[in-house]
A and B are shown apart, each in its own frame.
Chain A
Amino acid sequence: MYGIGIVKGLLVTLKNARRKPFTTQYPEERLEQSPRFRGQEFVWFVDRCTGCASCAKFCPLGIIKIVTDPNGGNGQDGGSYRVDTFDIDQGRCMYCGLCVEACPYDALHMGTNFEASQTSRLDLVITKEDLNAREKHPSTWFRPQLSKQGFDPFGEESKDWHGAGREPVDWHPKRPEMLPDEGDTRSTSDGEYK
């Protein structure tokens, strides 16, 4: 009979009306974020960076600008370049994470923030100074060693550059400054914790 379908439809919407709304009232309420969130505000450890510019090469959008200076470091002998400029234009970033995957020394990590809106596109460019000044709360995306260490990106702890790598800290014998302090817990090459 005609009209039955309309009544059925009305009952369906009525049933939905009696359900609790599933809206999350964003500024007051937040959804739980994954620790592997690929967010804004990259985490960069200047002490781990050798200035190899892999991140800039692998960026599909070409938004990482890195200027290095061999001055001071001995490149032939395994030393690092001095990084003069390290700009990331977050306004054009698509957060694919290829730069993080490309980093051979685990110096660059994804961030977990997503609230970096600005009123000008220029303000979206983050510089070396910004990155250095920031608290280090790296996402554990593509950094399994962080989740293995039980690191919580949303916690209070600001990550120290010593423990951020996947290799043991003494991976490069020619950089004695990278050796850990006594009693530092860190991963070893066979994946065990000391």
Chain B
Amino acid sequence: MGAPEWLAYFFGAMAVIMTVVNGFLLIGTIFTWMERRVLGRFQSRVGPNRVGPFGILQAIADAVKLLFKEDIVPRRADRLLFNAAPIVILAPSLMALAVVPFGAGSYVADLNIGVLYVVAMGGIASLAVLMAGYASDNKLALFGAMRAVAMLLSYEIPLVMSLLGITVLAGSMSLVDIVGAQDIPFLLVSPLGALIFLIAMSAELNRSPFDVTEAESELVAGYITEYSGMKFGIFYLAEFSNVVLAGALFAILFLDGWNGYFLPSHLWFLVKVFGFLLVASWVRATLPRMRIDQILALAWKYLFPLSMVNLLLLTVETLTWPEPSTLELWMMTGINWVAAFAAIPLLAMVGLRAPGRSRRAFSPEVH
């Protein structure tokens, strides 16, 4: 009565946005605690266990601590960029949520270019990293940012190629349609794609073994060296919620999304996401940090050809069986696993041992 119609849409949209964003950030916050606990167990210690039951409120204690810290901006910093960088790094990962289906029928928007949209949002992160590094007026921050951007750009290519393979397989870029197309989880159908996605994603997320951007032993904290207080907190929140987003993407693209047995679809989705997060923590607890040249060599000399092979395989298979039945999907699965076991060592022999220069790209003589 009197109130315009758009107002109803506005409040409805706001309610949905608040729910999705806060729910997502809550899971990201839980993940900060979970990762510290899991890492602790992998290192035979306990991890944070004092704030609340099992230390689950640790993140709140940390947030309070960060809020009360002094907000320092370096004297010669570019204030605008310096202050904008944390927002620019967090906002895209929240925006990417718009197309992520959390359960059967629950998504904000079913964009027909969903995959492209997510990749585009992920690409903004490298801009924020460069902003933070440049604006800090700190050589360590700038070095960290340059490494990060080199790495993010390099790994975006294999990442996108593996996503392209999934798109070809599903015949759609919509994340909802991709889940619908998975009669068999694409983890089985496209093992190479899943592997490339995992490796490239952990580089995109700046996680071990690709965490050179914040290599404490060399660069203090990389591009977040000069940040303190809640801005630092936002960088970390963005980092951790990006991992959750990557987990959601992995669940959607490779683990058949929200589909499962017995449990409600949202719960199944959460189970898959947390499974991914556990594996991510496990890998982080295991692998030592690589050098930046090793990282770039791995991206360009190995993952790039590997993702080409993956895309070629999937394209040919899709052209052969345009509308694959379950049986045909199983046949694809068989072919792809054989191809994966052949291509992984073969391309490693070709790609990682560059002729003429050094025997191996990974050999310690190369500096």
Contact = CB atoms under 8 A, between A and B. Distances in A.
Interface string B296-311: 0000000000000000
Interface string A96-137: 000000000000000000000000000000000000000000
B45 A2 contact: no
Interface string B255-292: 00000000000000000000000000011011100000
B282 A13 contact: yes
Contacts of B348: 2
A180 to B, nearest CB: 51
Interface in B45-82: 45-46
Interface stretch (B6-14, B35-43, B142-150): B35-43
Contact of A6 (B42, B46, B285, B286): B286
A17 B286 contact: no
Contacts of B40: 21
A79 B286 CA distance: 69
Q: Size band of the A side of the interface?
A: 10 to 19
B285 A13 contact: yes
B287 A1 contact: no
Nearest to B348: A2
B43 A9 contact: no
Interface in A1-22: 1-3, 6, 9-10, 12-14, 16-17, 19-22
A71 interface: no
Nearest to A25: B46
B286 A12 contact: yes
Contacts of A23: 45-46
A13 B345 contact: no
A14 B42 CA distance: 7
Given A10-B282, A12-B286, A21 B41 contact: yes
Interface string B330-356: 000000000000001100100010000
Chain B interface, DSSP helix/strand/loop, else mixed: helix
B43 A16 contact: yes
A17 B41 contact: yes
A20 B45 CA distance: 8
A13 B46 contact: no
B44 interface: yes
Given A2-B352, A9-B287, A10-B283, A16 B42 contact: yes
Contact of A3 (B41, B43, B46, B344): B344
A132 B282 CA distance: 56
B45 A13 contact: no
Contacts of B283: 10
Contacts of A25: 46
A17 B278 CA distance: 12
Given A2-B345, A2-B352, A21 B44 contact: yes
Contacts of A3: 344
Contacts of B38: 17
Contacts of A2: 344-345, 348, 352
Contacts of A1: 345
Nearest to A18: B41
A47 B283 CA distance: 64
A9 B286 contact: yes
Contacts of A12: 286
A20 B43 CA distance: 10
Interface string B116-157: 000000000000000000000000000000000000000000
Given A12-B286, A13-B286, A16-B44, 16 more contacts: A2-B344, A2-B352, A3-B344, A6-B286, A6-B287, A10-B283, A10-B286, A14-B42, A14-B282, A17-B41, A17-B285, A20-B44, A21-B40, A21-B44, A22-B45, A23-B46
